[in-house]
Structure 1
Amino acid sequence: MADARKPIAFDTTLRNPYRIPDFISIFKQYEGKILTSELIIKIEAELIRQKKFEPTKNTLGTYKREYKGKFYFEADDQSDDAAERVAKYYKEWVEGEPGSVSIDKIIYLLKNTVTDHKDHWEGGWETRLWTQCKFLNELGLVYMEKGHIIKISPAANLMLHGYDSDEDTSSNIQSAYLSVFAKYQVNNPFRNNTIKVNFFSLVLKVIKYLKEKYDRPGIFYQDISFIIAWDSNDYVQLAEYIQAFRNKFRYNNVSDELVYSYAMNLLDESTPNNIIAEATKDFIDKKSKHYKFTQLTRETRDEVIRKLRMTRLISFRGAGRFIDFNNLEIDKINHIIDSYTHNISEFESDEAYFDYMGSIDKALVFEDDKIDTAVALTAKEKAISEFASNHDWEYLKSQISIISNGTDTKDALLRFIDVPVRLEFLCSVIIKKKLPKVMVIANYLADDEGIPYGTAGGQHGNCVGTDIDVYEDDIHAIIEPTAATSRSFQTEHELPSIRNHIFGSKEKDVNEGNPYKKWFALFIAPKLVKDVADQVALIRAINNVEIYPWNADDFVEYSANNNFDSIQEYKIIRDYMKPQQL
């Protein structure tokens, strides 16, 4: 496919950097093997078998004897009972735990069902794997190209360090992601685009220029559309364009339709970029199918913000209306500006690109045992208190319900916070709103405004590994939210960890001479499985450790509808969490 002028865009298959190791852990099993069509299907089957990726019934659970859409497909099994067998195997997989169904059954499903993806490789499930590894190829985390040996880079191996253990791996994941994203070029061997842009350094330089020359609090969220449409590393001209646009229209009541028209003019190669003007009607009519309104003003803009936030170097200002430097990481910001501005127009080979991208920049590695500074703690406390003060109980109920039901939030700030850490943030807010006098210490990673980046890290160094600590008189309670709903994760991972966190909290308090005499935990999830009730009772009987499980909706309803002023009022075994008995 020939290169063409396109807006900057990012693949959305893997939005969350914490999911990247899930996929790489599967790819790692096949490192050193030549990627063939047969191996592609096997890898995709293993991803599905382990539930790293969960296709719908319409694709994986629906037999297709023949397909003549974007490509031609004929089912491997043409027998009369093939549809029944597909339905049976799919049901086994849906109801089973990750890895419980044989890979042969999943391969059977892939050979007798269709997904209508068609790009780069053969259509269907082959292309589905391409969509899952394409951005990882672009980042240099893996090298997966048909007919070539599968490679896993040093950055990817850093992501996998400690994977599948109770060790805190968040810093490894974020260090690896930042190291590769800092080098990311829009012009790379895996993307057909004529423009040459070092994306992250361009954004950082624009922010710096606007701050230093115009004292602006970063980049207004709508103006990201202009970055998406920009065609070079000329940050001065881009920053001046953004400033001139805002001088002309200011910030309030500027429609996305207007922003789209101006961004389209930047994409028109027949017009200069230093002219602040709308695109012609003829250009919009001709190119609107290629440069879609939703792409330039919503989808890609939102995805850019997510990708930038993943780095931990970008903060929100003005309730999410501006993106700015995270001043807690200014050394890393300056290092990227100084080191990754030069655009490498050509690489000797795809492998040379992989070697360049996949190396680790030690200056961008986060410390895994770093303790929050007083400034960082104050920022988190302020963000929690302000959100609690600015939103009523009905709003908090609605946001918890969105998480529990798996739907999308429209909140301008929360929609850029991934569900697991969003639940931690909202639980902190609920406790603070209900009990304003208690001390709430949230241990998630946050920017200099206290807005969360990622979930609390596990146990490491002097950190016990709790998600949220609540202190009241002689009580040290811990709050442990999880977005996971699987039986195995809740009972085999979360509950043993919570038990150990209580032991660790008590030991630390005693060793440090803290005044706390009572320790217990609240375990909060969108939907608790019944086995949690039995395990909680068992832990209490064996270890004398108190854990009180709550469904998230019930937790916020109870907080809103009952009058009390102590964290101890949550020490209740709800009816749905009473142990099973004969």
Structure 2
Amino acid sequence: MSKAKYKPLSFSTTMRNPERIASFLKCIVPYEHKILTNEIIIEIILEVIRNKLYKPTYVNNVLRYKAIYANEEKSFTREQLLDIIENSEQKHKEAGFDYGWPSRFDTWYKLSKEFGFLYYKMNEPIVISSLGHMLIDAISENPLNSEKIENVFTHSLVKYSSNNPLRKTLNSNVPLVLLLKVIRNLDNDPEYAHNGIFRMEIPLFLCWPDGNDIALYEYIKNLRKNYGYSYSDEFMYDRCLQILNAGEKDKKYFKLSKICRESVDEYIRKMRMTGLLSLRGNGRFLDENKFKKEKIDYIVQNYPTEKTFENEEIYFNYIGEIDTNIVNIQTKLPENSNEIRKNTVEKFAKQYTKKQILSELLILSTGSRESKDPVFRFINAPARLEFLTSIALKQCFKDMDVNPQYPYDDEGLPTSTAGGGIADIICKELEYDELIEVTLMRGRADQVNNEIIPIARHQKEVRKSNPDTFSILIAPMIHDDTRMAAEWQKVAYGIDIYTYEISKFIGLLDDGGNNLKDLVSFKRNLVDH
């Protein structure tokens, strides 16, 4: 058995957002309390592929399977799923699991196990914690419950330990609590108050050996005094190797690109799932979200930066337990908080070119590549679509009152999508009100039931005070039935809903116009009727 040593913290990139984690958890719900065997693993894998959460290469090699996977309204039969599994060799091995699909199962669910959502071990019952069920419930609500999701990940990460029994490492700290306490230490230092953590300093957190937040604060302060904020990747990499007690031979395992870039990105994503952290300085700094001050106060006062566990079961029972204090502490917004959100849209509309924003929208439309922007890349795609659409509208119609409805942090950046009962973005200009709804959903049922029907309901309410109101639905693609449903609302109730694919909407904005009324006048040629 290999000896444990200091290692950089690295979160799995297979589960990058709460929705994906919850979707995988939902596939395992029917098998909760069953004894985990290879046969049960295969049944769970069938559910994962049936729900199109994982796409084996073999699917692309068979045209009929590729067509089914691409069509949200079609589903695989059991026989087809078994054929896919049989012809999709998984060259994969995880400790405690057989080679192939059983090891692939462990790769998918290991992060949920570490985060306390799920407990499993071969030949033992599968258990989903209260925290895991809370996450599933939050994602299943329509719209999803963003505050509940933040509470779930806050619960998990204030207890998540770098040396938990599922990891073999000498590093021993609670990464989130360590981060929050170091930020507080810097905030209490007159020289560095309100700066937060510089992005190039995050590798230190990934490699720090223990929970000594004072020592890490002093280490960072010393670096800033001697070098300012001019660290290079190579400079920080060398210091991380020193912290890890790593030699030249360890460089093939501890790669610069991983420690200074890839793991940093994933660390930021995971920490921001709690809603406790804000990005500042165009993504250059990670700081506490001042709207969450009361909750952060409670965490730094009641949770340790270091904790060890004898075995997996003790760890699971600890991390999966719900702290009602975290649930009950509410976010406190200042009186002018809505102006913070609107001002951020205006700031980004000036800071970025129209071409840059439209290019970012196109990334969401195709889903074929990732944003490289230091801010946008850390905003979950559905919320990012609302943010980018708001910015694009403000860039094209400078006198328009653009009022997005998404929840936001103290920088005015979205933390999740807009809640139910109101349009995603409300725009006003002169006599017109425009209700903008954006979605990444492509399926007929999703667009008709979750978008067109609520849009019509919202518009009926707004028309009571302003009859000159219309709505626009924007999506990567518009289903034919969605267009028909929008047209039916016009015929039956006089409700104006115009449907745009993102690419067509980009074309509309690119052509320009003076106001909302101009945008409406273009609809006959450019909307998808």
Report the TM range for the smaller structure's normalisation.
over 0.9
Aligned to 2:54: 54
Find 2:267's aligned residue among 275, 282, 304: 304
Q: Aligned partners of 1:540, 1:8: CA distance in 2, in Å?
A: 55
Matched, 1:375 2:336: yes
Q: CA contact under 8 A between 1:155 and 1:176: conserved in structure 2?
A: yes
Q: Do 1:548 and 1:572's aligned partners in 2 also have CA atoms closer than 8 Å?
A: no
- What is the alpha-carbon distance in structure 1 between the residues aligned to residue 315 and residue 227 of structure 2? 42
Q: Tell me by how many angstroms 1:374 deviates.
A: 3.4
Is this contact kept in 2: 1:159–1:169, CA < 8 A? no
Residue 504 (structure 1) shift: 4.3
Tell me if the contact between 1:59 and 1:114 (Cα under 8 Å) persists in the aligned partners.
no
1:3-152 aligned at under 5 Å gives the runs 3-51=4-52, 53-56=53-56, 58-61=57-60, 87=62, 90-91=65-66, 93-97=68-72, 100-120=75-95, 121-152=97-128
Structure 2 residue matching 1:480: 3-state secondary structure? strand
After superposition, the Cα gap between the structure-2 partners of 1:504 and 1:43, relative to the gap in structure 1 and judged at 3 Å, is farther
- Contact 1:17/1:174, CA 8 A, preserved across alignment: no
Query: Structure 1's 543 and 30: CA in aligned 2 closer, same or farther, altered over 3 A?
Result: farther
Q: Which SS does the other structure have where 2:188 is aligned?
A: helix
Q: Deviations over 1:262-295 (max 9, x none)?
A: 21111116xxxxxxxxxxxxx2x31111111111
**Helix, strand or coil at the partner of 1:365:** helix
Where has structure 1 moved over 6 Å in runs of 4 or more? Answer: none
Worse overlay, 372-381 or 28-37: 372-381
Task: Tell me the percent identity.
Answer: 30
Does 2:465 align with 1:518?
no
Query: Paired residue for 1:215?
Result: 192
Q: Does 1:425 align with 2:387?
A: yes
Map of 1:538 onto structure 2 = 488
Q: Aligned residue for 2:170? A: 194
Alignment of 1:71-470 (within 5 A): 87=62, 90-91=65-66, 93-97=68-72, 100-120=75-95, 121-161=97-137, 163-213=139-189, 214-216=191-193, 217-252=195-230, 254-268=231-245, 283=247, 285-341=248-304, 343-347=306-310, 349-365=311-327, 373-406=334-367, 407-457=369-419, 459=420, 464-470=421-427
- Compute the displacement of 1:518 (Å): 2.4
Q: Note if contact 2:291-2:333 (Cα within 8 Å) is conserved in structure 1.
A: no
* Residue identity opposite 1:10 in structure 2: F
Note closer, same or farther for the CA distance 1:567–1:357 as it changes in structure 2 (3 Å cut). Answer: farther
TM-score (norm 1): 0.85
SS at match of 1:470: strand
Relative to structure 2, which stretch is displaced further, 561-570 or 402-411? 561-570
- Kindly indicate whether residue 519 of structure 2 is the aligned counterpart of residue 566 of structure 1: no
Q: Counterparts of 1:161 and 1:541 in 2: how far apart (Å)?
A: 37
**8 Å contact kept, 1:92–1:101:** no
Query: What are the Cα deviations for residues 334-373 of structure 1, in whole angstroms up to 9, with x where unaligned?
Result: 11111211533223x42222221111122222789x7965
- Say if 1:469 and 1:578 are closer, same or farther in 2 by CA, change over 3 A: closer
Q: Residue 486 of structure 1 aligns with which residue?
A: 443
Give the partner amino acid of 1:289.
Answer: K
Aligned-residue RMSD, C-alpha? 2.3
Inter-partner Cα distance in structure 2 for 1:499 and 1:261: 59
- Letter aligned with residue 480 of structure 1: E
Count of matched residue pairs? 524
Q: Which amino acid aligns with 1:550?
A: Y
Letter matched to residue 122 of structure 1? D
Cα pair 2:173 2:307 within 8 Å, conserved: no
Once the two structures are TM-superposed, the CA of residue 436 in structure 1 deviates from its matched residue by 2.2
* Structure 1: runs of 5+ lacking an equivalent: 63-86, 270-282
In 1, Cα distance between equivalents of 2:225 and 2:380: 34
CA distance in 2, matches of 1:157, 1:146: 22
Residue 477 of structure 1 aligns to a residue whose secondary structure is: strand
Shift of 1:162: 5.8
Is the CA contact (8 Å cut-off) linking 1:260 and 1:293 kept in structure 2? yes
User: How has the CA–CA distance of structure 1 residues 571 and 499 changed in structure 2, closer, same or farther, with 3 Å as cutoff?
Assistant: farther
Cα distance in structure 1, aligned partners of 2:403 and 2:383: 14
Deviation at 1:89, TM superposition (A): 6.0
1:73-103 deviation line (CA, Å, top 9, x unaligned): xxxxxxxxxxxxxx36623532443672223
Q: TM-score, normalised by structure 2?
A: 0.93
Secondary structure in structure 2 of the residue aligned to 1:478: strand
Give yes or no for contact 1:18–1:173 (8 Å, CA) kept in 2.
no
* Displacement of 1:256: 1.0
